[in-house]
């Protein structure tokens, strides 16, 4: 009888512990702030977003902003980020690179590095951070 009771208590404790861990992960995920940067290389315009509750919302907002400025309607998301920063670097010959980082400096450095694979004289076109 004592063994059965001990087994039931142990199983209940494991279930409660696992449930609490899942709840903490869900809560952390729901409190994250997402951002994105979209870009049209043909129009050289961008859209950006920050502090959205999901990646999809952030990307949709960035695309909508970019499309409203683009004559070609060819914007694409070049980077997204969660509780971090994003940056977009471009070249004079339509090369570009977008990336994220834990700080604005890191995001810009990463974007410049990617951009440099597609051309010379990369410069930062935009960068933005979500709240953490």
Q: Is the pLDDT assigned to residue 27 strictly greater than 80?
A: no
CB-based contacts of 67-75 (< 8 A; 24+ apart in sequence): 67/38, 69/40, 69/43, 69/45, 70/40, 70/42, 70/43, 70/45, 71/42, 71/43, 72/40, 72/42, 72/43, 74/40, 74/41, 74/42, 74/43, 75/38, 75/39, 75/40, 75/45, 75/46, 75/47
pLDDT (tens digit, 9 = 90+) per residue, 59-100? 999 999 999 999 888 999 999 999 999 999 999 999 999 999
pTM, to two decimals: 0.77
């Amino acid at each position: 009888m004592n063994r059965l009771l001990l087994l039931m208590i142990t199983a209940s404790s494991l279930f409660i512990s696992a449930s609490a861990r899942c709840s903490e992960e869900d809560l952390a995920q729901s409190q994250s702030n997402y951002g994105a940067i979209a870009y049209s290389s043909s129009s050289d315009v961008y859209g950006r977003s920050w502090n959205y509750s999901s990646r999809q919302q952030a990307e949709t907002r960035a695309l909508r902003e970019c499309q409203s400025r683009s004559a070609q309607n060819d914007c694409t998301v070049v980077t997204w980020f969660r509780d971090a920063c994003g940056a977009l670097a471009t070249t004079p010959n339509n090369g570009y690179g977008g990336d994220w980082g834990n700080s604005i400096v890191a995001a810009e450095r990463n974007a410049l590095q990617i951009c440099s694979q597609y051309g010379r004289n990369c410069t930062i076109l935009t960068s933005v951070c979500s709240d953490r």
